[in-house]
Structure 1
Amino acid sequence: MTDDITKRFWKALDASPCLMVGLTGERDHRIPMNAQLDKDADSAFWFFTATDNRLAAGGPAMAQFASKGHDLFACIAGTLRTETDRAVLDRLWNNGIAAWYEGGKSDPKLLLLRFDLDNAEIWTADPGIKGLFKLATGLTMKNGELGQHAEVTL
């Protein structure tokens, strides 16, 4: 089940890469960020941001995710770090990112953060026919009839 739910997570994140991200232990509200995915990297994703963004300092962080169809949810723990590999920046750069940075890839405020993934809790909301019937009629749901839950190491 863990491999299946992890694959579903990556597929859902690829389809809708928006997450709410914040530094662990900070009382600041979480910030919506658009994850940049690399099909060859299953233990990290990246965010383009500005050097004056409150996430710029990096450190232990949490990200919350809800899929486009609201059938998968995840809370992800990891560490934000400045990405220093220019090849990664070049690979992830696109016109949607360029629109935010007047100086392009050389903009002095441009910062690429890597979110190194530690672990996550993932929930699916997929009740199936039996679960839908119980929800519609008010019958008591049993654990597992609404979806799956797993704690995974990413």
Structure 2
Amino acid sequence: MSSQEHKQKVWKLIKDVKVGMLVTQDDSVPRARPMHLVQDEYDGTLWFFTRASAEKVFETKQDSEVCLSFSDQGNGTYVSLSGHANLHRDQGLIDKYWNPFVAAWFPEGKDDPDVTLLEIKVQFGEYWKAKDSKAYQLYEIARANLDKHHTPDMGENEKFGNG
């Protein structure tokens, strides 16, 4: 779990990225695939639509520990979130998060029995937010190459939660 401050920071960093790479375990091999956020706020839980028949569903039933990574290279934002996956076929939640983007992936509509929600309860994470100025970043890299005792200051980095 993380503090309210961390939750707000995480949401600020990922809300515009929208797509994260979900990493599950396929037997003993990590496997990643893109997942699109469907919520408008973050309280420590992330929601995604998926098919109940999808391989990732079977993988999360075997091992519910997952990792999500979000990257916005243009803004120098990188977020890694780890937690536990659960599946929900709650019609109230499906109705709440249903939108035209999701509908495009489920032509049978939100009443299709294969429609389900994947809930990720985030336990811990880490984020990196680079300094906005590319010139500053280049300066820090050049300085570190000239002064072996200097480590580049590229921006914020923080771990949070119980990890």
TM-score range, shorter chain: 0.7 to 0.9
Q: Name the structure 2 match of 1:19.
A: 20
CA distance in 1, matches of 2:139, 2:108: 56
What is the CA RMSD across the aligned residues, in angstroms?
2.6
Residue 147 of structure 1 pairs with residue 158 of structure 2: no
Q: Name the structure 1 match of 2:43.
A: 42
Within 5 A, what are the aligned runs for 1:2-151? 7-24=8-25, 26-39=28-41, 41-57=42-58, 58=60, 59-67=64-72, 69-126=74-131, 130-135=136-141, 138-140=142-144, 142-143=150-151, 145-151=153-159
Q: What TM-score does the superposition give when structure 1 sets the normalisation length?
A: 0.82
Structure 1 gap ranges (5+): none
**In 1, are the aligned partners of 2:14 and 2:79 still within 8 Å (CA)?**
no
**In 2, are the aligned partners of 1:74 and 1:120 still within 8 Å (CA)?**
yes
Residue 134 to residue 144, structure 1, CA distance change in 2 (3 Å): closer
Q: What TM-score does the superposition give when structure 2 sets the normalisation length?
A: 0.78
> C-alpha displacement at 1:79, in angstroms?
0.8
> C-alpha displacement at 1:127, in angstroms?
6.0
Higher helix share: 2
CA distance in 1, matches of 2:157, 2:151: 10
> C-alpha displacement at 1:8, in angstroms?
3.8
> C-alpha displacement at 1:4, in angstroms?
6.5
Q: SS of the residue aligned with 2:95? A: helix
Moved more, 115-124 or 81-90: 81-90
> C-alpha displacement at 1:148, in angstroms?
1.3
**In 1, are the aligned partners of 2:7 and 2:44 still within 8 Å (CA)?**
no
**In 2, are the aligned partners of 1:38 and 1:45 still within 8 Å (CA)?**
no
**In 2, are the aligned partners of 1:78 and 1:116 still within 8 Å (CA)?**
yes
CA distance in 2, matches of 1:65, 1:29: 15
Higher strand share: 2
**Identity of matched residues, %:** 21
